[in-house]
Amino acid sequence: MQPPRVLNIEDLRCAARRRLPRIVFDYIDGGAEDEWTLRANRRAFEEVTFRPRCAVKVPACDLRATVLGATLPMPFILAPVGSSRLIYPRGEEAVARAAGAAGVPYTLSTLSGCPLEDVAAAATNGPLWYQLYLVGGRDCALPALERARAAGFTALVVTIDTAVAGMRERDFRNGVRELLSGKPWRVWPFAGQLLARPRWLARFIADGGLMKFPNVVIPGAGPMSFADVTGALEQSVVTWEDIAWIRKAWPGPIVIKGVHTVEDARRAADAGADALVVSNHGGRQLDGAPPTLRVLPEVVADVGDRVEVLLDGGIRRGGDIIKALCLGARAVMVGRAYAYGLGAAGSAGVTRAIEILRTDLIRTLKLLGCPSIAELDPSYVDVPPAWRLGNG
């Protein structure tokens, strides 16, 4: 499939809405409860304004950033998006293929529909990170970590903000529980939204239908089924004690994702994390959590000399990435931006999302009068007075 003619990530979002059933599109697009945090993530970027240096000639821009000792061609990483195979056939492989071609790291979710070895084969040149949930317990997680290491995954991302699944009301209204039940009579009231997207439905069926999770292999039972995941997550909350075990089980860099406060940032640094991600799960977990961009400066000020600080949540343009970097982030993670591309046009859509962000970065740097990512600092932005007072 050819990528749609689009100018920005919002265009990709609209294309994905046209091509995906409502239940799948809202899985990508929605947040928890009233979706306040989902909207606040975006509003925070709108509240930060630029301070450009004009009459400055910038013939070329250096977009490179160094994260975990590796030089990235652009200052962003593709975040973990679980169940991407629902969005597009062999979805995780499609994302890895696009990320690899661009040299951008891709973080594979534990809850992937594709075996991690197949994703690694699709990634070619791109770095791969592996995101860990302890679904199934340590006996289930340890073999997956060993497989990831053997397949060439270089960093481990441990998500800590999923004590329970967030109340994503769009999913309930769209019939997620009924779809996962596997009982046709329960699915029937929601079948219209699937039948309204016959091309997606045909591909979904051809790709094997409702998936299992081949990287969550329960000893004696095999891959975990989709219907069992919610309960398994609640029974396997990651604690700081688990981080110590993970540190022993994984010899490479560890990134702790889901930090909302300075206190947890300190604990992540004390636990030996190499990096942390200021993240509220894209507004999909605790509604009412603060926007990540607002939390970022205080985290950087407190632990930025001990651990690399990344950010995710609400990023839709290259200008958003630059604002985060000006406020101290080493790099950012983007999730919805590429997931919309995957829904719109598969691997080609992900490629287009990456291209859009790259073009945005170059244009914004030139308009700021800044020749490189490395030279960005707080002097290039203005933040609201309340942020300066440390009230956020």
Pairing of strands 106-108, 128-132: parallel
Q: How far apart are CA 292 and CA 259, in angstroms?
A: 9
Asked if 285 contacts 319 with a C-beta cutoff of 8 angstroms, the reply is no
**Distance (Å, rounded) from C-alpha 8 to C-alpha 12?**
7
- Look at residue 312 and give its three-state secondary structure: strand
- Provide the 3-class DSSP secondary structure of residue 29: helix
Give catalytic status of residue 260 as yes or no: no
184: left (phi over 0), alpha (psi -120 to 50) or beta: alpha
**CA 133 – CA 158 distance, rounded (Å):** 7
Q: Are 317 and 10 in contact (CB under 8 A)?
A: no
Catalytic residue among 147, 267, 281, 352: 281
Burial of 303 (0-12, 13-18, 19+ CB in 10 A): buried
Catalytic residues: 281
